[in-house]
Structure 1
C-alpha cells in the first residue's frame, strides 16, 4: 500500500482520522469536513474505543457469571490476575473510602490497554480493508477513505479520558472537604497567609490543571510516536518485517506500561483529592 503514495502522502493518510460532520449540505465525511470548524466527529476513534469498551465489559461479565471456586479456566485465571493486580495497587495507593475507585481503576487499565494494543495490528491491514469497503461498497476513492485504528493516538480521546478524571478530582475534593475547604485549599496553600491568596491561587490552579493535561498528553504522545514509527517502518517495503516484529516486541512491554501509568496517576490524584488537611 505504501507504494501507491509518496512517503509524505502515505504517512499523512495513516495519521488522518475518518471524520463526519454536519454542514448546510447535510452529513458529510472526511475532506468535506476540513472547513467544518469545531464540531467534527472522529468516527474511527469513537467506533474502536466504544467497541473495545464493550468487548471489555462482555469478557469480564461473562467470566464473572461463569466463575467457579474450583480450578479456574485459563480465561478466568487471567481475569483474576488482572483483578488482583489492580486491587492490590488500589489498596496500597488510595487512602480514602470509596466503592468507585477500584472499578474505575480496573476499567481504565483494561480499556486503555485494549486501545493501546491496537497499535500492534499491522498499519496497512485495517486502512486497506476500510478502503476496499469504501470502494466496492460505496463507490468511493480508496484514497479518500481513512481508518486510524488506535484510539489513544487521537488527542480528543485522551483529553476526554483525562477530563473524566478531572471531574472526579473536583467531585471528591468538594465532597470530602466541602466547598469552603476546597476553596481554602486553593487559596491558603502553600503560604498560609491572606496576603498570599493570589499567589497561592495561581500556584494551586496550575497544579490542579496540570494533572489532566499531563494525563492526556503523556498517553497521546507515547502512542502517537509509537504509531508514527510503525508507519515509517512500513514505508521501507519488504524489509519492514524484521523491524516491525522487533518494534512490536518492544511494545509488548510499553503498551501495558502506559495503561498502568494512566491508572496509577488516576488513583494517586483521587487519593490526594480525598485527603482532609
Structure 2
C-alpha cells in the first residue's frame, strides 16, 4: 500500500472501502470478499469462545463477573424474543442470540481505526482489507437471506405446504383476486430481507465513511489533528449507541418476521 502522504483524501477513502477479493469462477457473482468472510468467521468464533468462557466455570452460587454479564445479556435477549414471538418454537431464542451478538461484534470493529488494521496487513503484502463486515452489503444480504429461509421454514412448519400456498394465493383479497394477491405477497416477502440488509448496511457503511473522513481531517496539520480528535471522539460516542442499536433492530425485526410468517391472514 502506498504511503498515506501519497494518497489524496478521495483515494485514501476509496482504498479503505475496497474489499480483498478472490475469483473462484467467471463473472462477478463468483467473486469472494475474503476480508468479509474471514472477519465474519473470526467474530462468530469469538462469540462462541466468549460465551464458552462464561459457562466453563459456571456456578449456581455467586457468579463471577463474566458469568454474571453473560447471564444478564442472555436473559435480556431471551426476554425480548419471548415478548415478540408468540409461537411455540424453541429455536427463536438461539436465533436471536446468534444474530444479536454476532452482528454486535462485527459492528464493534468500527471502533478500530482503519489504518490500525490496513497498515500492518500491507507489511505482509495484503493490499486491501475492509475491516467491518456489516459495511459490506454481501454480508448483510447473507444474514437477511438466512432469515428469509427461516421465515419459509417457520411458515411451512406451521401451515403446511398446502396451507401456505393457499394463503399466499388468496390473502388478503380473496380467491377472486389471486393475481393481485400473488404480486402483493411476493413483494411483501422479498421486501423483508432486502430492507433488513439495506438498513444495517446503510448505517454501517455511512458511519465508516464518516470515520474515514475524520481520519483524513486528522492528517491536515495541528489544527486538523485537534479537529479530527474532537470530531472522532464525538462520532465514536454517538456510535456507542448506534452499533448495539443496529444489532438490536436487526434481531427484533427478524423475530417479528418469523412470528408473522406463522400467523394466518
The TM-score normalised by the length of structure 2 is 0.93
Q: Secondary structure at the match of 1:256?
A: helix
Report the equivalent of 1:245: 233
Report the equivalent of 1:233: 214
User: Is it true that 1:159 corresponds to 2:141 in the alignment?
Assistant: yes
Q: Secondary structure at the match of 1:210?
A: helix
Question: What is the correspondence of 1:215-234 to structure 2 with a 5 Å cutoff?
Answer: 215-234=196-215
Determine the C-alpha separation between the residues in 1 that align with 2:35 and 2:171. Answer: 44
Pick aligned residue for 1:19 from 18, 21, 25: 21
Q: Secondary structure at the match of 1:235?
A: helix
Question: What is the correspondence of 1:77-92 to structure 2 with a 5 Å cutoff?
Answer: 77-92=68-83
Per-residue deviation, residues 79-117 of structure 1 (Å, max 9, x unmatched):
111101101001111100112110110010000000000
CA contact (8 A) 1:169 1:270 kept: yes
Determine the C-alpha separation between the residues in 2 that align with 1:265 and 1:102. Answer: 13
- Which structure 2 segments of 5+ residues have no match? 220-224
Report the equivalent of 2:251: 263
CA contact (8 A) 1:56 1:110 kept: yes
Per-residue deviation, residues 200-259 of structure 1 (Å, max 9, x unmatched):
111111011111000000000000000000011111122312211110011000000000
Deviation at 1:183, TM superposition (A): 1.1
User: Is it true that 1:111 corresponds to 2:102 in the alignment?
Assistant: yes
Determine the C-alpha separation between the residues in 2 that align with 1:180 and 1:229. Answer: 50
CA contact (8 A) 2:143 2:197 kept: yes
Large movers: runs of 4+ above 4 Å: none
Deviation at 1:276, TM superposition (A): 4.0
Determine the C-alpha separation between the residues in 2 that align with 1:216 and 1:66. Answer: 37
How many corresponding residue pairs? 256
Report the equivalent of 2:193: 212
- My pick for the range that moved more, 267-276 or 219-228, is 267-276
CA contact (8 A) 1:2 1:234 kept: no
Question: What is the correspondence of 1:55-66 to structure 2 with a 5 Å cutoff?
Answer: 55-66=46-57
Determine the C-alpha separation between the residues in 2 that align with 1:94 and 1:150. Answer: 30
Q: Secondary structure at the match of 1:49?
A: helix
Alignment root-mean-square deviation, CA: 1.4
Deviation at 1:37, TM superposition (A): 2.8
Pick aligned residue for 1:73 from 39, 43, 64: 64
Q: Secondary structure at the match of 1:205?
A: helix
Q: Secondary structure at the match of 1:254?
A: helix
Per-residue deviation, residues 141-170 of structure 1 (Å, max 9, x unmatched):
x7xx00101000011110000010000101
The TM-score normalised by the length of structure 1 is 0.89
- Which structure 1 segments of 5+ residues have no match? 24-34, 135-141
